[in-house]
């Protein structure tokens, strides 16, 4: 059998099939394997998330039905055991994210490829999948979405699927940054700086965390988590987000603090620092007011609790962490096999589920990859 795509879904499909004795060829269009995983590991690889299973399944807001049985069969505890057996020595971070001790993916990918070699998997690099053919060979497709085409896939498989009348929801950026037009002055000092312990609100939802200022806008957990609300806000013509720079204070409490901590000779910057605002937060206040922040404690507190930032658009899918959209639930059976293409399975981000960052993405890719690989091998055995 053939597995195409050497991301977490394809590598796991190959492992699951080879473990039960299938002869597996693993193909990828790239010259090396697991490149998206290696990229993901640069900022600390979250393999899965440690929380009650029901809560974890609730993270898959779109397409939960596509991943739930697979995750129940290969849940986070199993992912940790699997990774630990590869020497990852996983641990749970304070936010529930599960990391390999090395934080990066390099050692894990190396050990994984060695395990696949031991299991007899054949590797064929530089071999793009260009469409369905009429071979009778069982195939698992794990071609990913359309984010980071420089290292992974570009979603061009969608065309071949459409030609075969397989319904695919359009691939759109998910867990993407948002574009904000910063002034050159702000960027010069604060590009790459995180806004620590703030709360971001869009469309009635608020998420706490540490968004980071980038050349084109804001990146990071709270922004990614708010992608659905940002999409709605952009579509509805109300493209604003608000940043609460002091979420641990009520507005009245913060106004009192501004009043208490003012000294007659203080510059604005010194006064703000006494209140506990980090320099980047002060710069955001200046940015939002055209460098004319109010000087009255009450007005300042109101502003600091909800600094408005106009949004331009979600960052391009080419820079997003993942893609939403993909093959819809009605097109596959419970093992991920395509109804219209018996003998071809689909796994990982190609399926139309979506989830936030924090380990949920790789978890779903590993689980659906395992399901597809085992089913494809099982068919052979049967
Ligand atoms: C910067 C970054 C950080 C991330 N961090 C995390 C994290 O910490 N935790 C988490 O859960 N998720 C994270 N993710 C997301 C996670 O990496 C992806 O969800 C996951 O890699 C998707 O797995 P996949 O196997 O479906 O596809 P991919 O990993 O995208 O792999 C698809 C493979 O298919 C190959 N391919 C594509 N098209 C073709 C073709 N036509 N022919 C042949 N080969 C093809 C590609 O070359 C690629 O190797 C991160 C993503 C990025 C970009």
Asked if residue 210 and residue 120 are part of one domain, the reply reads no
Asked if residue 227 and residue 355 are part of one domain, the reply reads no
Cα dihedral: 26, 28, 31, 35 (round 10): -100
Closest C-alpha residue for ligand 1 atom 48: 152
274, 290, 314 — which closes off a domain?
314
Average predicted confidence (pLDDT) for the chain: 94
Closest C-alpha residue for ligand 1 atom 5: 40
314, 343, 359 — which closes off a domain?
314
Residue 99 Cβ inside 6 Å of ligand 1? The answer reads: no
Tokens 């699951």 belong to which residue? Answer: 16
pLDDT band at 360 (very low <50, low <70, confident <90, very high): very high
| pLDDT, average across residues 218-242 | 91
Asked if residue 21 and residue 163 are part of one domain, the reply reads yes
Asked if residue 309 and residue 247 are part of one domain, the reply reads yes
Cα–Cα distances in Å, from 146 out to 4, 26, 317?
Answer: 16, 20, 7
For the cut 80, the answer to whether the pLDDT of residue 381 exceeds it is: no
The C-alpha R_g of the chain, in whole angstroms, comes to 24
Q: Which stretch of DSSP H or E encloses residue 283?
A: helix 279-288
Enclosing domain of residue 284: 178-314
Cβ atoms of 34 and 365 closer than 8 Å: no
Asked if residue 146 and residue 15 are part of one domain, the reply reads yes
Asked if residue 132 and residue 245 are part of one domain, the reply reads no
Give the pLDDT of residue 379: 56
Q: What is d(CA 122, CA 135) in angstroms, rounded to the nearest whole number?
A: 18
Q: For residues 135 and 162, which has the higher predicted lDDT (pLDDT)?
A: 162
Give the pLDDT of residue 50: 97
Asked if residue 271 and residue 351 are part of one domain, the reply reads no
| pLDDT, average across residues 210-230 | 94
User: Of 112, 99, 163, 90, which Cα lies nearest the Cα of 10?
Assistant: 112
CATH number at residue 8: 3.50.50.60
CA–centroid distance, 332 to ligand 1, in Å, is 21
> 293-351, pLDDT tens digit by residue?
999 999 999 999 999 999 989 999 998 999 999 999 999 999 999 999 999 999 999 99
For the cut 80, the answer to whether the pLDDT of residue 241 exceeds it is: yes
Asked if residue 207 and residue 124 are part of one domain, the reply reads no
CA–centroid distance, 7 to ligand 1, in Å, is 5
Pocket test for ligand 1, best of 70, 113, 153 (most atoms within 8 A of CB): 153
For the cut 90, the answer to whether the pLDDT of residue 244 exceeds it is: yes
Asked if residue 203 and residue 328 are part of one domain, the reply reads no
Pocket test for ligand 1, best of 88, 152, 227, 317 (most atoms within 8 A of CB): 152
Who's near 75: CB < 8 A, 6+ residues apart? 53, 56, 367
Q: What single-letter DSSP state applies at residue 293? A: -
Q: What is d(CA 370, CA 75) in angstroms, rounded to the nearest whole number?
A: 11
Q: Give the number of domains in the chain.
A: 2
User: Of 128, 165, 139, which Cα lies nearest the Cα of 345?
Assistant: 139
Residue 319 Cβ inside 6 Å of ligand 1? The answer reads: no
pLDDT band at 380 (very low <50, low <70, confident <90, very high): very low
CA–centroid distance, 79 to ligand 1, in Å, is 17
Residue 152 Cβ inside 6 Å of ligand 1? The answer reads: yes
For the cut 70, the answer to whether the pLDDT of residue 382 exceeds it is: no
Give the pLDDT of residue 239: 87
Residue 10 Cβ inside 6 Å of ligand 1? The answer reads: yes
CA–centroid distance, 299 to ligand 1, in Å, is 46
Residue 323 Cβ inside 6 Å of ligand 1? The answer reads: no
Q: Which ligand 1 atom lies nearest to the CA of residue 9?
A: 25
Q: Which ligand 1 atom lies nearest to the CA of residue 33?
A: 49
Q: Which ligand 1 atom lies nearest to the CA of residue 128?
A: 42
Closest C-alpha residue for ligand 1 atom 47: 152
Asked if residue 124 and residue 18 are part of one domain, the reply reads yes
CA–centroid distance, 10 to ligand 1, in Å, is 10
User: Of 172, 217, 142, which Cα lies nearest the Cα of 322?
Assistant: 172
- Residue 103, sorted as left (phi over 0), alpha (psi -120 to 50) or beta, turns out to be left
Give the pLDDT of residue 94: 82
- Cβ neighbours of 240 (radius 10 Å): 14
Asked if residue 226 and residue 105 are part of one domain, the reply reads no
| pLDDT, average across residues 4-24 | 97
Cα–Cα distances in Å, from 318 out to 221, 235, 322, 323, 356?
Answer: 18, 20, 9, 9, 17
Asked if residue 122 and residue 184 are part of one domain, the reply reads no
For the cut 80, the answer to whether the pLDDT of residue 157 exceeds it is: yes
Give the pLDDT of residue 18: 98
Percent above pLDDT 90 for the chain:
88
98 φ, ψ (degrees, to nearest 5): -105, 120
Pocket test for ligand 1, best of 2, 3, 4, 5 (most atoms within 8 A of CB): 5
Percent above pLDDT 70 for the chain:
99
| pLDDT, average across residues 24-43 | 93
285, 314, 343 — which closes off a domain?
314
Lowest mean pLDDT among 16-25, 129-138, 246-255: 129-138
pLDDT band at 134 (very low <50, low <70, confident <90, very high): confident
């Amino acid at each position: 059998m053939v597995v195409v795509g050497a991301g977490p879904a394809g590598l796991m499909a190959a492992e699951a099939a080879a473990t039960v004795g299938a002869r597996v060829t693993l193909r990828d269009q790239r010259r090396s394997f697991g490149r998206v995983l290696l990229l993901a590991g640069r900022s600390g690889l979250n393999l899965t998330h440690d929380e009650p299973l029901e809560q974890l399944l609730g993270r898959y807001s779109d397409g939960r039905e596509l991943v739930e049985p697979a995750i129940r069969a290969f849940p986070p505890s199993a992912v940790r055991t699997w990774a630990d057996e590869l020497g990852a020595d996983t641990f749970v971070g304070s936010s529930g994210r599960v990391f390999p001790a090395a934080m990066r993916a390099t050692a894990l990918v190396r050990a994984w490829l060695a395990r696949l070699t031991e299991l007899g998997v054949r590797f064929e690099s530089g071999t793009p999948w260009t469409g369905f053919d009429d071979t009778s060979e069982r195939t698992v497709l794990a071609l990913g979405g359309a984010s980071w085409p420089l290292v992974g896939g570009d979603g061009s498989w969608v065309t071949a699927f459409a030609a075969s009348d397989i319904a695919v929801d359009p691939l759109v950026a998910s867990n993407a940054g948002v574009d904000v037009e910063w002034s050159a002055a702000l960027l010069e000092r604060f590009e790459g700086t995180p806004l620590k312990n703030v709360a971001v609100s869009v469309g009635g939802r608020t998420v706490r965390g540490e968004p980071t200022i980038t050349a084109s806008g804001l990146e990071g957990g709270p922004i990614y988590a708010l992608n659905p609300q940002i999409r709605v806000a952009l579509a509805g013509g109300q493209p604003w987000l608000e940043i609460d720079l002091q979420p641990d204070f009520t507005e009245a409490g913060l106004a009192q603090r501004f009043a208490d901590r003012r000294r007659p000779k203080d510059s604005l910057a010194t006064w703000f620092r006494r209140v506990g605002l980090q320099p980047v937060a002060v710069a955001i206040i200046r940015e939002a007011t055209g460098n004319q922040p109010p000087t009255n404690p009450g007005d300042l507190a109101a502003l600091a609790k909800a600094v408005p930032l106009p949004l331009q658009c979600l960052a391009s899918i080419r820079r997003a962490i993942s893609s939403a959209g993909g093959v819809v639930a009605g097109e596959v059976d419970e093992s991920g096999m395509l109804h219209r293409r018996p003998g071809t399975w689909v796994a990982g981000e190609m399926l139309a589920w979506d989830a936030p960052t924090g380990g949920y993405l790789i978890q779903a890719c590993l689980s659906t990859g395992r399901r597809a690989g085992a089913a494809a091998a099982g068919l052979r055995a049967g």
